[in-house]
Amino acid sequence: MEDIYPILAKHFLNEASSDEEKVILEYKNSNPKEYTLLLALWNKGEVKVHDFDSYRAWEAFNSKKSERHTKVIPLFGSIRNMAAAVAFLIMGTFAIWYLADTIGQPETVVVQNTEGTSLEKRLSDGSVVWMNQGSSISYPKEFGYTRNIILRGEAFFEVVKDSLHPFVVTADFSTITVLGTSFNIHTDTQGTAISVKTGKVEVASLSRKETVVLLHDQSALATKDSLTTKNDVDPNYLSWKTGDFEFSDTPFAQVVTQLNTYYRDSLTLDPQKNYDCTLTAKFDRMPLRQVVEIIEATCGVSMKKANDNSYIIQ
Amino acid sequence: MEKVAHEVFFEQIFHQYYSPLCNYALKMVKDPHLAEDLVQQLFLQLYEKQALSKVDYPERYLLRCVKFKCIDYYRTKKSMGEIRLETIPDGTLDRSSDIAEEDIEPLLHYFASKLPPKTREVFLLSRNSGMTYKEIAEQLNISIKTVETQMGRALRQMRSLLKAQNFLSLIPFL
């Protein structure tokens, strides 16, 4: 019995063929209780769904929370720090800890990338996640009907195709649903940016009021109150992972921000200064030293070496 | 940048269940503002007692809490008192139980609210307008096959919910 439910749905609505009815009869005989219950719910009156805004509610929740003046002791604070410290010592690159029987699912895995480089993580369904520095994901150890992932920060996903089990990523400002594809999600305090490399991706605002479908080389930006789409992607949206950069007339401050995603925050701007130049250049996984030389030559700035791998721009 | 893990999970649970739980409460108390107040207050209580971290089946527990909260609201002369969270079983040792008639409507609205947007759109059209698959496909400009898939997905999700709420036993009756 592969997937009975599309057929059963048709049966309930008198849309099934006579061949399909035979399959249903067999199913009905072996699952009488399930059949009766589903039928009772499937045919029960009108359904009017209200969209309650959880984002607005969360803000209200937070202000009420502080109103109550309750001191809440973080439950996992000490355990987490210990686990992180131990894992850090053992593995060096990243910390994993299991939160058994906590909120969410019986067993939830949390992976945090505490290292400066991107971290590759393979999930139980075969999908692969590359996490940017400082980002974290969490997911149930065993996936249920949907493959649910929670993301903080930035990650690139290569999702194994499985049309029966949607792959759902919840980020700060949106929910992204796919069946099998590859895409990048970047979240900061302003919003969540989704860039699609291959396949088809459905993006919903957090309140689920709006949804858009993105195809390859399209992108969307979800913020607190809006969801906008673009017919192209930032040429550097994957640079944090690949180390390949392409700038064309890009404002200097933006160049530095983007380079820092790959070169581990090695470049520091002088906040007092106004950098009014733009850069047009292509870097392919170049050593930082070389990148710095090119920038110095083309932008007329000087870079002071702070230590082995960091520069202050003057 | 990072928050304590349980806080992250709490926030996640909040966003995931807030609207569906309000839809559930709405069917019981009939007033959207009141439904939101009750759910909001429940979450505050759950947060302070860190109750969600102690249960094995958060969804089942949340639904029961909301139901108790609504019933309690009427029982205590419409006051917004706190409910005794510890008296609500999370269902770890539950035997399969039957669904009560008065639970069906709230549960159904909870279910519909939790569906992914596209699936929900198709489900609601079929449910509320009585359209055939062909008519839905034309209205939404999608293929009949997609309608079938989405309806199947909705029904499968409904079954998962019933199972998670323990209305469907894993072991068939002999």
Give the DSSP per-residue string, B126-163.
Answer: HHHH---HHHHHHHHT--HHHHHHHHHHHHHHHHHHHH
Domain-located, residue B99: no
Q: Do A145 and B156 touch (CB under 8 A)?
A: yes
Q: Are the CB atoms for A199 and A180 separated by under 8 Å?
A: yes
A253–chain B Cβ distance below 8 A for any pair? no
Going along chain A from its start, the domains and CATH numbers come out as 5-42 (no CATH), 77-230 (2.60.120.1440), 243-313 (3.55.50.30)
Average pLDDT over residues A27-43: 86
Tell me what the pLDDT averaged over chain B comes to: 81
Q: Are the CB atoms for A87 and A79 separated by under 8 Å?
A: no
pLDDT at B26 over 50: yes
Number of residue pairs across A and B with CB atoms under 8 Å?
Answer: 196
Between the two ends of chain B, the Cα-to-Cα distance in Å is 55
A98–chain B Cβ distance below 8 A for any pair? no
State which amino acid sits at residue A29: N
**What 3 state SS string does A198-220 have?**
ECCEEEEECCCCCEEEECCCCEE
**Structure confidence at residue B23 (pLDDT):** 96
Considering only the beta carbons, identify the residue of A44, A49, A60 that sits closest to B23.
A49
Closest C-alpha to A194, from A179, A175, A208, A210? A175
Interfacial B residues in 38-77 facing A (CB < 8 Å): 40, 43-44, 47-48, 50, 52-53, 56, 58
Instruction: Give how many domains chain B has, as a whole number.
Output: 2
- Structure ipTM: 0.82
Same-domain check for residues B82 and B9: yes
Q: Do B47 and A72 touch (CB under 8 A)?
A: yes
Average pLDDT over residues A215-231: 88
State which amino acid sits at residue B60: R
pLDDT band at A81; cut points 50, 70, 90: very low
Domain-located, residue B71: yes
Range of the domain at B122: 115-164
Strand partners, A185: A155, A194
Domain-located, residue B96: no
Same-domain check for residues B134 and B81: no
Nearest-by-CA chain B residue for A50:
B23
Same-domain check for residues B16 and B73: yes
pLDDT at B30 over 80: yes
A285: left (phi over 0), alpha (psi -120 to 50) or beta: left
Same-domain check for residues B74 and B127: no
Same-domain check for residues B80 and B123: no
Strand partners, A139: A109
List Cβ neighbours of B150 (8 Å cut-off, separation of 6 or more).
B118, B119, B122, B123
Q: Do A170 and B1 touch (CB under 8 A)?
A: no
Average pLDDT over residues A191-211: 83
Is the four-CA dihedral B74, B77, B81, B85 of positive or negative sign? negative
Domain-located, residue B26: yes
pLDDT at A32 over 90: no
pLDDT at B4 over 80: no
Domain-located, residue B44: yes
Encoded tokens for B101 = 């008639």
Q: What is the CATH number of the domain that holds B149?
A: 1.10.10.10
Report the distance separating Cα A98 and Cα A109, nearest Å.
Answer: 5
Q: Do B56 and A101 touch (CB under 8 A)?
A: yes
Sheet holding A227-230, edge to edge: A119-122, A128-131, A154-158, A182-187, A191-198, A219-223, A227-230
B10–chain A Cβ distance below 8 A for any pair? yes
| β-pair type (A95-100, A107-112) | antiparallel
Same-domain check for residues B81 and B122: no
**Structure confidence at residue B3 (pLDDT):** 46
Give the lowest-confidence range in A38-42, A204-208, B150-154: A204-208
Q: Do B19 and A110 touch (CB under 8 A)?
A: no
Partners of B22 on chain A (C-beta within 8 Å) are: 50, 52
Encoded tokens for A43 = 């045919």
Domain-located, residue B172: no
Q: Which of B82, B133, B155 to mutate to test the interface with A (most CBs of A within 10 A)?
A: B155
- Number of Cβ within 10 Å of residue B116's Cβ equals 20
Domain-located, residue B101: no
| β-pair type (A267-268, A310-313) | parallel
Same-domain check for residues B14 and B75: yes
Report the distance separating Cα B157 and Cα B164, nearest Å.
Answer: 10
Same-domain check for residues B137 and B70: no
Q: Are the CB atoms for A37 and B168 separated by under 8 Å?
A: yes
Q: What is the pLDDT of residues A225-252, one digit of tens each?
A: 888 898 888 888 888 888 899 998 888 8
